[in-house]
Amino acid sequence: MKVNLKQRLGEERILLAPGVYDALSGLIASQAGAEAVYLSGASIAYTRFGRPDIGLVSMSEVADTIAVLRDRIALPIVVDADNGFGNALNVQRTVRVFERMGANALQLEDQTMPKRCGHLDGKSLISPGEMAGKIRAACDARASDDTLIIGRTDAIAVEGFVAALDRAEAYVEAGADMLFIEAPRSMEEIGRVVERFAGRVPLMANMVEGGKTPIVDAAGLEKLGFSFVIFPGGIVRAVAATQRDYYRNLTRTGSNEAFRDRMFDFAGLNAVIGTPDLLAMGRRYDGGDA
């Protein structure tokens, strides 16, 4: 059953979205029971380029990834749209393209170009007024009111916590459907975010192991008052660790035998990606057996 993201966020139980970066990760997340996925721009940079999240990924590269995800899964796709890849007019083009590709929500941040990961130092911001204009432009550009615009501020690390709250207030007033105050540094700051905004607009949290924000599980965030939590880069960190161990084993032993219990065999992977069903479908169109 297809989930309406706006309706799901209106429920009391928190929505958890694993991070994904391609169709295979999206498919496996869906098979594991995820209700939505988060397309992480950082994870695209990590996996496609082997580079950090410092603004190297282009709008068209994200759009291509949305398209292959949407072709493979029916879950809501929440997309990291960085800073919209330019000014308000660029934001509008980004919204139109991402929505056509299959995005259900776009997260827009108030960093300058080139942007960088919210848990890296050295960020800089556009003015609150310019960012509010970008949010209004995004809302005006969407074809469906069910496509959500998420307003994110990275101001805590740049201008301080109070300024981040003020920016968030402006973004809500500009029409943001959900609010994401990135990288609060303590449970006290998390509590103040909830105190000011919970009940007014859905709140989004980002859990990054080794990042600036205390780690709280989904149940704990729900109790605090959050509606949505992402784990954007966890899968890449897990895959990278597995790749390191796999390649070390292979180059040292000349075989996969010692790694067999940590990997799919050929038939197992084909079962995951649906090879038998796809071949059967092809036979039907070829006039073969049903």
Rounded to an integer, what is the distance from CA 72 to the centroid of its chain? 17
Mean pLDDT of the chain: 95
Pairwise CA distance, residues 5 & 8, whole Å: 5
For residue 196, the model assigns a pLDDT of 97
Backbone phi and psi for residue 116, each to the nearest 5 degrees, phi listed first: -150, 165
Q: What value does the mean pLDDT take over residues 52-79?
A: 96
Cα–Cα distance between 163 and 166 in angstroms, integer? 5
Distance in Å from the first CA to the final CA of the chain: 26
Q: Are 5 and 78 in contact (CB under 8 A)?
A: yes
Whole-model pTM: value is: 0.94
For residue 120, pLDDT beyond 90: no
- Give the per-residue pLDDT at 78: 98
The pLDDT value recorded for residue 1 is 53
**Mean pLDDT within 179-205:** 96
**Coil, strand or helix at 179:** strand
Instruction: Give residue 218's Cα distance to chain centre.
Output: 16
Going by pLDDT thresholds of 50, 70 and 90, the confidence category of residue 123 is confident
